[in-house]
């Protein structure tokens, strides 16, 4: 027997020819709690973002906040200690890096603002009865617009942060009593606000337009579900909507949607978060694995635990692409990271070598039978 440089095992037998056991190829780097070693602090990875220095911040639902130093690969963990300068909860649902500050949205414990340089919480915001206070402590989405505004989506309304007064204004461009799970800004400056169960809302502060899209069971070109998990704008300006019951591609001219689901070849009808690689392919996390979708040909390539994933069950709002094109997706069992250009690539040399040996083995068996 011999091991090749790629970890594959070659075994020569007297009667059975040559056998080859390949090293299982996977391009997914995995991060998960490993107790006492340099690893994540929690399994359920929720939010992922980077700061101006390139460090990756990872919010979990069960283990607090993590900082991954992009130069050293070392994790730093942050959990509540009771001190005023510590984060307020281990259950993180939103992250936003703004200059030297990290905004941290929690599940029912309000909003923390941390100084990235000192790793200490500078300010904390809780729900209150005053006009310019948040009305919910469940902070689930945040966005810094191109104009510099900071928007905060909660389980009860969408707010704009007022720097001068260090407080918040409830936006009246969208309903003030909805749960907003995701926020993005498109190329035209339109803000798209995904709601937990009431459809997709939008407004443009420049041209003062606003509106919404909802599911209509009698209209196949309507939004496939009112439970909207996220939205994404691709490199061509196209809007995609991930929901609890299908993926939607927005037709801006007609004001309707094309739907994709398991009948279209996808692993699942539950779509979470979308990223795009340099070739224009969409990478989409679902409840049954990760999908690479060629929007030009509608070709779908699926990845599951059999391909090296930690879990087929990905998590809400959990995806990020860094400046180098590396992608990060969070699941309920940890975080995976990879470069799309290498995912699923076949080692042609190994494949050719294997085919040659298979051919030789078959020929030897035929010769042996002939001699006998």
Which is nearest to 88 in space by CA: 110, 103, 67, 66?
A: 110
List, edge to edge, every strand of the sheet that includes 111-115. Answer: 92-98, 101-106, 111-115, 120-125
Domain spans in the chain, listed from the N-terminal domain onward: 1-25+348-372, 27-347
Give the dihedral of Cα atoms 246, 252, 254, 255; nearest 10 deg: 60
Please report the DSSP string for 43-59 in residue order.
SSEEEEEE-TT--EEEE
Taking the model in full, what pTM does it have? 0.86
59 burial type by CB count under 10 A (0-12 exposed, 13-18 middle, 19+ buried): buried
Per-residue pLDDT of the chain (372 residues; tens, 9 = 90+): 787 765 667 777 766 667 665 555 558 999 999 987 899 999 999 999 999 999 999 999 999 999 999 999 999 999 999 999 999 999 999 999 999 999 999 999 999 999 999 999 999 999 999 999 999 999 999 999 999 999 999 999 999 999 999 999 999 999 999 999 999 999 999 999 999 999 999 999 999 999 999 999 999 999 999 999 999 999 999 999 999 999 999 999 999 999 999 999 999 999 999 999 999 999 999 999 999 999 999 999 999 999 999 999 999 999 999 999 999 999 999 999 999 975 544 343 444 444 555 555 666 666 666 665
Pairing outcome for strands 282-286 and 289-294: antiparallel
CATH fold group of domain 27-347? Methylamine Dehydrogenase; Chain H (2.130.10)
Are 190 and 252 within 8 A, CB to CB?
A: no
CA 9/CA 260 separation, integer angstroms: 42
In the numeric block, the tokens 């749960």 are attached to 179
């Amino acid at each position: 027997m011999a091991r090749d440089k790629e970890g594959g095992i070659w075994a020569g037998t007297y009667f059975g020819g040559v056998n080859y056991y390949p090293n299982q190829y996977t391009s997914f780097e995995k991060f998960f709690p490993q107790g006492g070693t340099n690893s994540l602090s929690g399994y359920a990875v929720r939010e992922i973002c980077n700061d101006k220095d390139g460090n990756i911040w990872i919010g979990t639902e069960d283990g607090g906040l993590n900082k991954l130093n992009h130069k050293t690969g070392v994790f730093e963990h942050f959990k509540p200690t009771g001190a005023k300068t510590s984060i307020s909860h281990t259950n993180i649902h939103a992250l936003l890096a703004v200059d030297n500050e990290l905004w941290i949205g929690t599940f029912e414990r309000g909003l923390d603002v941390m100084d990235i340089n000192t790793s200490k919480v500078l300010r904390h915001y809780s729900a209150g009865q005053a006009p310019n206070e948040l009305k919910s402590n469940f902070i689930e989405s945040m966005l810094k617009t191109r104009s510099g505004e900071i928007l905060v989506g909660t389980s009860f309304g969408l707010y704009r942060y007022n720097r001068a007064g260090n407080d918040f204004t409830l936006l009246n461009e969208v309903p003030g009593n909805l749960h907003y799970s995701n926020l993005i800004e498109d190329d035209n400056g339109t803000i798209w606000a995904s709601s937990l169960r009431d459809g997709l809302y939008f407004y443009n502060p420049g041209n003062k337009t606003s509106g919404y899209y909802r599911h209509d069971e009698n209209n196949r070109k309507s939004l496939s579900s009112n439970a909207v998990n996220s939205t994404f704008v691709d490199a061509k300006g196209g809007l995609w909507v991930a929901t609890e019951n299908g993926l939607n591609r927005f037709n801006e001219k007609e004001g309707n949607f094309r739907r994709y689901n398991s009948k279209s070849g996808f692993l699942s009808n539950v779509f979470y978060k979308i990223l795009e690689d340099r070739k224009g392919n969409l990478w989409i996390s679902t409840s049954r694995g990760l999908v690479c979708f060629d929007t030009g040909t509608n070709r779908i390539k699926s990845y599951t635990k059999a391909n090296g994933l930690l879990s087929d069950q990905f998590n809400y709002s959990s995806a990020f692409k860094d400046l180098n094109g590396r992608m990060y997706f969070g699941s309920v069992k940890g975080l995976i990271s990879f470069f799309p250009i290498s995912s699923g690539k076949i080692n042609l040399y190994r494949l050719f070598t294997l085919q040659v040996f298979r051919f030789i083995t078959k020929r030897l068996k035929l010769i042996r039978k002939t001699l006998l």
